[in-house]
Structure 1
Amino acid sequence: MPLLTKLTFAGHVEALLKSSDRQTGLEKSRVDGLTLHFEGIEGDCHGGLTRNADVRTIRQYPRDTPICNVRQITLLSLEELAQIAGIMEIPQVKPEWIGANVVTSGIPDLTLLPPSSRLQFPSGATIVVDMENEPCRYPAEIIASHNPQAKVGFVEAAKHKRGVTAWVEREGDITLGDQIAIWIPPQRLYGAGAA
């Protein structure tokens, strides 16, 4: 029996970005299309079937332990970027500054999509949401370099608005203007044993 429910609205692809060199930092360059493989985005530095455990997984694994890469792709929304800029009282927060790969429009509260939601593109390419992408100091430094007059810091302004990370479930291409079908799993709160 199918478990996922297709939402009654669709999102749209507004920008696509990638970077082949992790040494250049988080900033990425715009492209017209992305090719997705099971390892991630072709030519992007965050690809790979595995990655090393880092501060995000330090409670589960020692640093640098090889783990499955569920952070192959970073998605942000135009709407949430505008909200962040408004809170910071700056003209804009560019997706290039904060490591975006796919920028969407039309998906309300993108950052709050449930884990295991699927985003499906016309080519059949499908990505699975891992979880919310917490704001951190690295994009904060880039944004501050472009906007020293910011009234509120990025980490505070972007809480629950920094987008999501995802991994490739089905290979294919994504192009500018693509429509995005959104499939979500059943939702219920689980609180047993939570600290």
Structure 2
Amino acid sequence: MLETSATGQLQFAFGGPTEESHAGLTRPSCSRVTAQHPRGTEIANVRQVSILSAEELSAIAHDMGLDRLEPEWFGASMVIAGIPDFTLIQPSSRLQDEATGTCLVIDMENRPCHLVSAVIERQHPGMGKRFRPAARNRRGVTAWVERPGAITLGASLRLHVPDQPAWPHLDAARGQ
């Protein structure tokens, strides 16, 4: 099941949010990593946490012609606010709770998915097909737990971004 429910606090262990289906130190590989592993291969779980941006969620809804999209429809673990272009934050950036020290490491962009489109279609018939183009580069990120602890609704998180420059051979490695 993709959909989640809202809560006032998340408790994180090294395996991820303690009450979520995506938690665990390992997971079976999926379509996102078939270039590296056959589907179903046990791999490290760097997709323990799904984080959305309130601003990007609002922009997706606007571009789809909707008043609002619920984060629960996305299977989101948490929603943050106040970081522009959040989905484009580079991998290995950290979000750390200033009160508890709980720290999440961003793995990568969580690309638009047909599962979310299906939920939107159930809620707003005829609108599901608009999701993927509207959510491009705004679908949020996945992350894993570096330091366990709690993050409470309304907590202040500090963003730590690595100062490593972009690899100059990226286009060549991608065959572009």
Q: TM-score, normalised by structure 2?
A: 0.94
Whether 1:158 and 2:135 are equivalent positions in the alignment is: yes
Out of 44, 55, 79, which is 2:31 matched to? 55
**5 Å matches for 1:108-123?**
108-121=84-97, 122-123=99-100
User: SS state of the match for residue 73, structure 2?
Assistant: helix
- Superposition deviation, residue 32 in structure 1: 1.1
Aligned residues: 171
Conserved? CA contact 1:90–1:149, under 8 Å: no
Gapped regions of structure 1 (runs ≥ 5): 1-24
Aligned match of 2:78: 102
Determine the C-alpha separation between the residues in 1 that align with 2:164 and 2:124.
39
Identity of aligned residues (%): 45
What is the correspondence of 1:46-85 to structure 2 with a 5 Å cutoff? 46-85=22-61
Residues 170 and 39 (structure 1 numbering): CA distance in 2 closer, same or farther, change over 3 Å? same
Q: Which amino acid aligns with 1:167?
A: W
Q: Distance in 2 between matches of 1:78 and 1:186?
A: 26
What is the TM-score when the length of structure 1 is the normalising length?
0.85
TM-aligned CA deviation for residue 180 of structure 1: 0.6
Query: Does the Cα contact within 8 Å between 1:115 and 1:129 map onto a contact in 2?
Result: yes
Structure 2 residue aligned with 1:169: 146
Structure with the bigger percentage of strand: 1
Question: Residue 22 of structure 2: SS of its match in structure 1?
Answer: coil
Supply the AA of the counterpart residue of 2:36: Q
Distance, in Å, in 2 between the alignment partners of 1:92 and 1:40 is: 28
CA contact under 8 A between 1:119 and 1:126: conserved in structure 2? yes
- Moved runs in structure 1, 4+ residues, more than 4 A? none
Quote how far apart the aligned CAs of 1:189 are: 2.2
Choose between structure 1 and 2 for higher RCO, CA contacts under 8 A separated by at least 6 residues.
1
Counterparts of 1:107 and 1:30, CA distance in 2:
21
After TM superposition, the structure 1 stretch with the greater mean CA deviation from structure 2, 30-39 or 182-191, is 182-191
| Matches for 1:30-45 after TM superposition, within 5 Å | 30-45=6-21
Cα root mean square deviation, aligned: 1.2
Q: Which amino acid aligns with 1:105?
A: A
Q: Which one has a larger percent helix, Structure 1 or Structure 2?
A: 2
Where structure 2 has 5 or more consecutive residues not aligned to the other structure, the ranges are none
* Match of residue 4, structure 2, among 19, 28, 52: 28
